[in-house]
Structure 1
Amino acid sequence: MPLSDTIDACDLAHRACTESVIHGMQQGGHSAEWELIQLLLDCADINETAADFMLRSSRLHHLICQVTAEINDKCASACEKLSKEDVRLKECAEACRRAATACRKTVKN
């Protein structure tokens, strides 16, 4: 998998998580619970950081990608629990799963 595809997947997950935070705060209910909001913010930040590491060809990008994959998986699982009642969280879960998969492939290369 080209590094540019992993960067794109991380950018998309960053955007999806950030938009889900805003959406959750506007909607209220389960999608506004602090534990989920905190995880979404953590996931957004780590995806942005991973993309930055890859964009500048950091020799350490494989380390950050490994952590990014784990956090994306946790975030996707949390979003999936609420995805039946919230389409935005379903989309976020899908973006996080794609980023996790892309990051794992990058780590293996």
Structure 2
Amino acid sequence: MIFMKEIVAIIRPEKLEEVKNALEAAGCHGMTVTEVRGRGRQLGITESYRGRDYRIDLLPKTKIEIVVNDEDVDTVVETIVKSAQTGDIGDGKIFISGVDEVVRIRTGESGKKAV
């Protein structure tokens, strides 16, 4: 029985502090943050340097990974959307997947108690 979800959000790097603070205010304190590079519909950008154009295909993004109990998914997703959204292409995506089990290494607790 799956009762936990992993939420993976890919956001603009400059929105990390705002998202992190909003999540903490919503009661979500645990997260893993990774600097990543990627692209979606934005397909990268074209820059000019010393009169030459060059294309940056993979843009810097920030990946936030959070595991929550099912009842917290909507709150966490809404919090991320509200705090990360600029309305421009490249704001990012949120992916939600089921988590079969969680084990806290320090105590050996598992399941909901470990989240």
TM bucket by the smaller chain?
A: 0.3 to 0.5
Greater strand content? 2
Given the two structures, how large is their TM-score scaled by the length of structure 2?
0.31
Which of 1 and 2 has higher RCO (CA within 8 Å, sep 6+)?
2
Greater helix content? 1
